[in-house]
Structure 1
Amino acid sequence: MTISTRKEDPVSTTGTRTSPTVVDTTSPLKRFISAVGVQNISLILAIALVVAIIGLQNPLFFTVPNLRVIGTAIAIVGLLAVVQTIVIILGALDISVGSIAGLTSVTSAMIFTATSSAAIGALGAIAIGIACGLINGCIIVFGRVNPVIATLATLAAFKGVAQLISDGRAQGYTGADFFFVFLARGTFLGAPILIWVLVVVAVLAHVVLRYTTIGRNIYAVGGNNIASRLGGININRYIIGVYMITGAVAAIAGILITARTGSGQPVSGSEGLELQAITAAALGGAALKGGKGAIAGTILAVILLGVLTNGMTLLGVNTFWQNVAQGTLLVVAVVIQQLRSGERRIGIPG
């Protein structure tokens, strides 16, 4: 006689077979890491380390005025980094955002001077920013030009236009206007208005990317544009739309530059912002090949860059080294992405 040793599935008292209970044995620490993300935790630890080192070297770092300086400094870079993240997730890149910010800074001040209306100046600047984004998108879509080449060209073109209309000099004076002064020096709940502008834009971008069909389609296009096209997504419309949004947000950054400096700046205040935005997006986990990235990681990276730059200034480090640090961080971020992707590295036999 054979005796069966197979365990039967549990049966309830009513005769109905029930499924075995699945017990989650994942530790709370692992669940926390999974929820927050390894990339974000790494950035938080890096920020804490940099803050600790700088704070020990210079106690002025922790003063409220200096923290405000850091906050207002990262606001403009943060705006550009947020929209740069969206562009990168889409599988593209926008190197012209700094030039758009400079052009719209000049035009906002010049329109304000001509009309004596800050609202018209701001709206005019945003309209010009959208037009710049439309130009970028049309060059990429209809000219079939690589986004890097296209926006590298418009980087020079938009900067040239800003210098031509301003004769290479700061334009207008906005330091006495309530709207621009409020943007530059106003506070809400103890935080500068510039920070609140960044928070609003970042939250809107996060919600769109995470909870809407538009956001899911942006990830899909960046992840696999061929499959997205076959799935019925109008890729050209998304490319043009994202670049127009990028131009609008870059214009908001230009308006903030005008507010902070009290005049329209064709180059000063905007030059190099594109590199900082790309660096922050890459450090925050946005894959330069597209299809991956999150606004939260980008904001943490912006804070890290802001703290590092401010700390180097407080410690008297040569400003040239700040550029070296930013370039190094960008290289490190891209190398880490490549290693995580698991792809075969060029030149190394596998």
Structure 2
Amino acid sequence: MMTAADISQTSSTTSLATILRRYAGVGAALVALILFLSVTQENFLKYNNIMNILRTNSVMFVAAVGLTFVIISQGLDLSVGSMTALGGVFLAELLTSGVGAWPAIALTILACTFLGAVVNGGLIAYGGFNFFVVTLAMMQLLRGAALVISNGVPASTFMWDPVQWVGDGVVAGLPVPVVLAVLIGILGYAVMRWTRFGRSVYAVGGNETAARLAGINVKQVRVAVYGISAACAGVSAIMLTGRLTSSQPVSAALGLELSAAAAVLLGGASFSGGAGNIGGTAIGVLFLSVLANGITLAGVPSYWQGIATGAVLIAAIALDRIRAK
């Protein structure tokens, strides 16, 4: 008969094996890429370049944290990039209309959260619509709204110091966007790892019927995860607007949803739901960030980054299928 110690040891061994199987591929690829760039690019390991990688990709990481909740629950949010663009436009409109910087920041996050929870989450959970159709429609609708509100013209936010501080400030020698990204990542990990809501997200993604029979309010969970995704997009909007010193309704966050989804899938999440975590998402974001930085340092034209991201997304989906088998 197995003792409690034997069961605990077996569980620990199984968990370790699962972690190694899930992250060995992308982890090994990340290490190999870092070693290759360290040898071939003399500027890669310099402090300024490392900080540039982290600062530039903090927006994608924050968006990916929110998307992790959605994908684990067996969904997908294609409106993340457009939500970020609209959030930047909404923030600029509030600022130029006389609203204070901090209230404008809070209102932007609340507005994005409301749109994500009520429209995306509401239509999917209570309306019975397919998540792909809803978020694809919202991707077009929100981007169009950003263009209509702004007339397609960027609005400067340079005069508002709090916005600039969030996007490009420094605290304790570290870029503020990086600090915010780390804090949001830790918060997301804690929620997924140690709260009842986090366990409910995994349950809904793993088996919706079983979760419902276990007493979990599946509809509320779905509304919540799309609200979280939109809230993270709102934070990303503020960070991006501050870094660019203006709203960018046309070019802001183009392709952000695909890059974030690729990072989440590379980090061990699955389209079939019920698997993944914020730590894995961080690894996926780091891989994409280092890859993009390596392409830039090598002098390769920037448009090749889109090809590389698309190839990585295909590889991530293939890896997801292999893990499922």
Q: Shorter-chain TM-score category?
A: over 0.9
Structure 2 residue 254 is the aligned partner of structure 1 residue 271: yes
Letter in 1 for 2:192: L
- SS of the counterpart of 1:319? coil
| 1:99–1:267 Cα contact (<8 Å) kept | no
Structure 2 residue 153 is the aligned partner of structure 1 residue 169: yes
Unaligned runs of 5+ in 2: none
Aligned residue-pair number: 322
Structure 2 residue 313 is the aligned partner of structure 1 residue 327: no
Per-residue deviation at 1:331? 1.2
Partner residue in 1 for 2:134: 150
Per-residue deviation at 1:183? 1.7
Letter in 2 for 1:159: R
Letter in 1 for 2:131: P
Structure 2 residue 61 is the aligned partner of structure 1 residue 82: no
Letter in 2 for 1:281: V
Aligned sequence identity (%): 33
For the aligned residue pairs, the C-alpha RMSD in angstroms reads 2.4
Structure 2 residue 208 is the aligned partner of structure 1 residue 225: yes
* Alignment of structure 1 residues 1-350 onto 2, 5 Å: 34=17, 37-115=20-98, 117-133=100-116, 134-171=118-155, 173-342=156-325
Per-residue deviation at 1:40? 2.9
Q: CA offsets, 1:132-191, max 9 Å, x none? A: 2021111212331110111000000000000000001111x2223221222233223332
Q: Which moved more, 1:58-67 or 1:148-157?
A: 58-67
| 1:139–1:150 Cα contact (<8 Å) kept | yes
Letter in 2 for 1:332: A
Unaligned runs of 5+ in 1: 1-8, 10-18, 343-350
Q: Distance in 2 between matches of 1:119 and 1:300?
A: 32
Letter in 1 for 2:231: A
| 1:217–1:233 Cα contact (<8 Å) kept | yes
Per-residue deviation at 1:192? 0.9
TM-score by length of 2: 0.92
Q: Distance in 2 between matches of 1:141 and 1:22?
A: 42
Q: CA offsets, 1:291-342, max 9 Å, x none? A: 1111101001101100100110111112232111111111111112212222
Q: Which moved more, 1:127-136 or 1:77-86?
A: 127-136
| 1:85–1:294 Cα contact (<8 Å) kept | yes
Q: Distance in 2 between matches of 1:231 and 1:184?
A: 43
The structure that is helix-richer by fraction is: 2
Q: Structure 1 pair 318/213, CA: closer, same or farther in 2 (3 Å)?
A: same
Letter in 2 for 1:139: L
| 1:33–1:41 Cα contact (<8 Å) kept | no
Partner residue in 2 for 1:345: none
Q: Distance in 1 between matches of 2:259 and 2:244?
A: 20
